Structures are given as structure tokens and as C-alpha cells.
Structure 1
């Protein structure tokens, strides 16, 4: 679910009955067929594989807008969607569109079951109503307890671009959203930077984490689960793009905190950095056409990398890996990279952002900017992302800008970290000496 406001994942258990009472007061009965649902799915049809992610995102967004804390909202969304998925969905089936029948690609002629989005939205709301009615009598324990004291500062702006094509995801109650009952606590955060339209970024913000939860490797190899989820989401979106004539793509970066281990995965030039005791720790190398290994991969496939205003694949895209970009496959790869790192408790925060931020704000300056904000706010970190976005804009960024700061300890404790040395990159982790031109 995309969250627009800073948040902490806590809601006293005694407030849950009040939330359910208010919901059932506003909606005293299930919707009749002639009454529209208070939410709407994008588009007119969904594939069977898209149903879980789309309906969970719809329900969680609606519940969050009404003030549900992440554990409650995620648990309600999961229960409503899982109950619906256990029913026969054939009543929502629609015939494939004419554009599918005209596709010349033999591989794409495999039948795709498409379901009526409007009918699913209506029925899923009534399922949610039934769950709220049941839980008014007895709330499950999974919906009561907070998954962790996450403090997340989030800010995004369209800037001078005509459209806002970024999307972001904040799921502190990942386990509750997917009904995972193993003892490992999980939280998921992501930023997606779309190009050529918002469809791919919106799609990735709904389906990457859903595909992560589906991976059998999640309990034993979370990094692999992240890579597989990116790949599967790319395949799903390419199918949708061919059916609906979509041309957009998106880079993306995500962080999954599982227990005491951080796992990250990325495609393209959206990035995540870790700040530990006031020092920036570089976790990844973004995918750009000018990287020697990326250039060689593209050329081996028959493509080329050329420099115009910046380095581009086949003279068009300024990123070498992305979800979508159907007409640039396989040169623009949907295969993500990943990395893992054990957390010791000395880490300060994660920062996830798109290239609209990192193209103008070097890694080594982030810690100083955050520290200055915390000093002025006496340890208050809720608005730090807004200040970082403003800093990027002041430095000349014209792109969409999205910044998410996930605090790994109380920001008031960070005031004890001296500013001396803040922002230095630990030995063995080097920063590029030249700035990267802004890309589109």
C-alpha cells in the first residue's frame, strides 16, 4: 500500500472495537447490487493471478484512510481477500479482449482468465464488511499486536514534471497482510520510479510484495524470494502490457527486514542506503547503461548503449533494468540484484529514494542533512523526508522526487551521535567521484 504520511505502527487494542463500530455505523449492511462500492479497481479486468494483490491493496488503502493501524488493517484485508479467493470466481469471468486474439506471438496465445474488476471490487467490499461484523464480537490476536515500533518518514512530489510517475510502499505488518504465522517478523518498504506512464510503477507497488509472499524460498532465502518476485512481476506486467497496449516501465528498490536481517533487491537506478552510527554504508550498485557489465550484457543481446544527454539503451532509456518496457526487452532486463546484511542494533535508518533525489544529493551528504534536521527538531524525525525532498529540489532536480526514511532506532538517540565523521563512507565502500546527470 502506498502511504502518503509519516507513520508509526501502533494502535492500542482498546481502540480496535471503536474502529470496527465506526466502520459498521457508516456501513450498517452489505452493499446491495445497485449500490456502488466505496472503492474502485483500476481498469475493467484482472487476471486470476492479479486478484490477490489488487484486492489486498484496495482494502488496505481504504482501511488505512479510515485510521486503521497496520496490524489491524493488514489482518482485515488478508481475511477478507483470502475468504473471497476460496470461493468460485467463475461468475466474474469475462471473455478475452479482441486485442489478445490478434496477437501474433504464439507464446501469448495461451489462454488468460480475465475477471470483471467492478464485480470483484463490489464483492470484496462485502467480504470485508462480513469480517468486520465477525470481528466486532471477537478480534483475533494477530490483529491486536503491533509488528514493531516502525517510524517511517515519507514524502513525494511531482516537481516540474507533467505527471507523477513514482509510487512507494510501506508495509510494517507484512506477515499480517499475507497470513504468515512463522516466528520471523517482517516489514517491507519500496520505492518505484516509473517512466513512460505510471502503469508499471503502480503495478509493481501492488504486486512485487504479493509475489514475495508467494515465494516458497521466503523463510529460508529471502533475498532469492525478492529476486524471483521482481522477475515474476515483470512477466505479469508484460502480459498485461501486451493485452492493453501499455508501454511504460519502472525501476524499483525494496527492503525486506526479516527478523534481524536486512534484505534488499533492486532494478535500475532507484537506490537504498543504510546509515549506521552517522556513517553512510553503501549497499548496492544501481543498474545504469554505462556500467561495463551492463553495457556488455546489452551488446551481447544485439543492442547498443549510446550517449546523448546521458547514457541510454538503444538510444532511448537511461536505465538498463526495469519492470515493463515491453518494446525494449530483453535489452532492458527484468532480473533484479539483491544483497543481505545482518543488523546489529547500531544502525540508524534506511533511506530509499528514486534518481530524482540521488542524481543531485550524493550519498555522503545524506547523514549530515538528516542530522541537521534532527537537531533542529529536537529528535523529531517525522518530517525529515520532506526536508530531504526540498534539498533535492533546491539543488536543481526537475524529476519526480520520492524519499522514504525508515528509522531503525529512535531518532532522538541519533542526537547522541556526533556530527563529526557523519556521512563518511566506511573503508572498502567507495563513492563515484563524478555526479550523475539527471535522467528521464
Structure 2
């Protein structure tokens, strides 16, 4: 049970608020009254660690955001309130001291009373809102162009076990005050239940933002945070008898660098100047290096409708899956790439998409969609999900497209390249995507 996940629902019932926001970092912003009164009746929250308390920022940001506050402002408010709570004496909230195995050593930490801590946080959040209504601190929006299209469906499965995170206000949420833009995106594909995916979507980015190397070595921070999140969830899973797991892929844009990390078969790809660029190799049992690692640990890889670890899971690395450790590894792979400005968009998706749609098909589908919508890319992910379903995917499908350039510019470049090819005497027949542009342009 996560503090702010339930606080969000409860506060929607008991809190009334009026929010008036002028959306411009230069204009005057009247936050209005976010909280007129706090909930009087609270659920008996479970004891939580300080890590869990910090990780619930995102859920609470959603609560503030749903009251009409811009994400940039909501993240700044939440960070300030959480930071002030953490700087107070938390002795009165301590309830239990426990040990957790982490990176080969026993780690001792304290569990806190969730109900009292929740009351303290919301009181401080209310105070911050009132203070900022009088004088709003400067807010710095992203300098880089980013446009996100997201779509997810349960499809024919009984439950929806995919989760995703979009965090373009990463700096504000973690109080990073330098002049470097940061944005975070992730997709988690759960199996055996949704607990691991929920937990990862709530905690992974917080582990990244609080990592000691986030400023100097963001690639290391991103990769290590997968291992940290796995350790945290395994501790929770053992205490609460949870058996679920989740694959995951995340992308962290830091200035002109793209950092990615992944576990399992959720994937990220890049499209640059109309060409699909492979960035990673998913973790599957049939990979020779993965099979060798599993067998060296005493496990096995067998074929049962597909290659599986110990006859069960079709992925070789994941967060969770406590009963399959260490064969199912929580050690993520990662990589970094320079962004030159010629990149069109980034795409993150679960295996429900990539098992049905090839990377080169993505380019054609997105360009066709942009032609039909005259360069409006907000529903590009919906078009891709529909294509995966049409191609026979029965799994949960989540697709997240991050446009790194204006979709209208991408479309204009496509049309210009088409005309250039036609003008050349020795030009070969253009690929399908150019033909699609030409056909749509003449209609």
C-alpha cells in the first residue's frame, strides 16, 4: 500500500480546491487555494521507509496536477514540500528498525508511521501553496523541444499489467538547479501481477533522481537505479509474499545526451532522419550470453512454445520474480548516445508491440499518420498500437513516442526528400515511407 497512491484517491473525496494558473514562466501565476481543508478520516497506513516516502512524490504530483496545476509548477511544489519534511526531525514517526540485504551487505533502516507522516506532508504542502501564492519563485521550462504521444491498451488479456512514466519536469521534482535540461521516460511490462510494475513506476525514477552520480554520471545513475529498485522490491516481496516481476526500459535525456537502461524485452528505438536506429538488444533466454549466465548459476533454458528460464519466464532479466532469482537477473544494461539535433523521435514500447511491429515499419506508420493529420503527432502512439493489434498482438500494448523535433518539420523534410529523389536522373525508387508521403501529398 503506497502512501500517496491512496492519499490521492482519498483526497479527491475529501478535499475541495480551486486552482487558477497562468501558464507562462514570465507571467504572474495565481495558485489560488489548492487545499481548503485536509482529510479528517484516514486509512490506517502501513509503516513505510524513508525511501518509500520520497518515492511517492510522483503520485502526489498527479494529485496536485489533477487540480489544474501545470506539471512544472506541481513538481516544484512537491519537491519543496518533501524537502522541508525531510529536513525536520522525524524521530516521532519512527516505528521499527529492520534489515535488508543489498549489494552483498546488510542494510539497516527505519520504518516510519505512514499516517502521521502523511498528515505532516499534506500540512506542509498546504503551507507551501499558500506561501507561493504570495510570491512565486522563478520556474525554468525545458529549452529542448519535446512532444509526447502515449497510448496503452489491455488488449485481449484479462488484466492490464503495463505501466509508464513521463517526467519532463525531472529537474523540478528533484531540485536540480543547474542549466541542463533533463527529462525521463519509462515503460514497465509486468507479469504475474501488477505489483512489480507499479512499484518500479513509482520508485525507479526517484532512485535515479536521488543517486549521488545523477549530475556527474547520469548513465551510471540510471543503470544502478534498476538494481536498487530490484533490491527494494525483493525486500517488499519477501515481506508481503509477492511473486510478480516486470521488465523495464527507461530513457533519460540530459542536455544533448540520451541515456538508456533496460531489463528484459521492453525496448527503446530511435528514428533519425527517417531511418530506424537500433539502440539495444533485449534480454531473452535464447541469447547465447544469457543462456550461459543462467546455466552457470545452475538454471536451465528450455523451449516450451518459446525459450523460457527454468521452463517459466520468457525473459532473462527483470525487476522482482523473487522465486526465480538469481537466474532472472536484476542487473540492467545501459548505453549513451549523443543527440545532434537530427533525431526525429524516440520510441519506447513493451514486447506486446515489438513482437508484432518491426522497427522499420514504425517509420512508415508514423509518417503515414503525420500525413493524415497534417503534422499533428499527438495520436501517433495510438496509430502504432492499432497496427500492433491488427498484426495479431494479444498482449498488453504500451507505446510512448517522444518527438525530439516538431512533427511538422519531420513531415516537411520527408516531402522535401521525396522531391529531391524524383528530381535526380539516377535516383532509385524511394522506400515506402517516401511513396506514402508523395501519395498523401497529392490527395
Q: Are 2:27 and 1:12 aligned?
A: no
Contact 1:279 1:422 in 2 (8 A): no
Q: Are 2:200 and 1:204 aligned?
A: yes
Alignment of 1:267-346 (within 5 A): 267-346=263-342
Could you tell me how far apart the structure 2 residues matched to 1:251 and 1:404 are?
15
Contact 1:363 1:423 in 2 (8 A): no
Contact 1:365 1:423 in 2 (8 A): no
TM-score by length of 2: 0.84
Could you tell me how far apart the structure 2 residues matched to 1:14 and 1:344 are?
29
Gaps of 5+ in 2: 6-21, 419-429, 435-443
Greater Rg by CA: 2
Q: Are 2:23 and 1:21 aligned?
A: no
Could you tell me how far apart the structure 1 residues matched to 2:402 and 2:361 are?
17
Could you tell me how far apart the structure 2 residues matched to 1:354 and 1:122 are?
37
Residue by residue over 1:196-248, the C-alpha shift from the partner in whole angstroms, topping out at 9 and shown as x without a partner, is 11111111111111111222222222211111111111111111111111111
Contact 1:267 1:335 in 2 (8 A): yes
Residues 422 and 51 from structure 1, CA distance in 2 versus in 1: closer, same or farther, beyond 3 angstroms?
farther
TM-score by length of 1: 0.85
Secondary structure at the residue paired with 1:217? coil
Q: Are 2:168 and 1:172 aligned?
A: yes
Q: Equivalent of 2:211, from 210, 215, 233?
A: 215
Could you tell me how far apart the structure 1 residues matched to 2:140 and 2:290 are?
47
Q: Equivalent of 1:372, from 346, 350, 368?
A: 368
Could you tell me how far apart the structure 1 residues matched to 2:339 and 2:29 are?
36
Which residue of the partner structure matches residue 51 of structure 2?
49
Gaps of 5+ in 1: 3-9, 425-440
Could you tell me how far apart the structure 2 residues matched to 1:15 and 1:93 are?
43
Please report how far the alpha carbon of residue 108 of structure 1 lies from its aligned counterpart in structure 2 after TM superposition: 10
Q: Are 2:238 and 1:226 aligned?
A: no
Please report how far the alpha carbon of residue 95 of structure 1 lies from its aligned counterpart in structure 2 after TM superposition: 4.1
Q: Are 2:128 and 1:131 aligned?
A: yes
Could you tell me how far apart the structure 2 residues matched to 1:345 and 1:354 are?
26
Secondary structure at the residue paired with 1:339? strand
Alignment of 1:96-135 (within 5 A): 112-135=109-132
Could you tell me how far apart the structure 2 residues matched to 1:338 and 1:11 are?
36
Work out the number of aligned pairs and report it.
Answer: 400
- Stretch deviating more after TM superposition (143-152 or 393-402): 143-152
Contact 2:233 2:320 in 1 (8 A): yes
**Bigger relative CO (Cα 8 Å, ≥ 6 apart):** 1
Which residue of the partner structure matches residue 422 of structure 2?
none
Contact 1:190 1:254 in 2 (8 A): yes
> What root-mean-square deviation, in Å, do the aligned CA atoms of Structure 1 and Structure 2 show?
2.6
Residues 269 and 423 from structure 1, CA distance in 2 versus in 1: closer, same or farther, beyond 3 angstroms?
farther
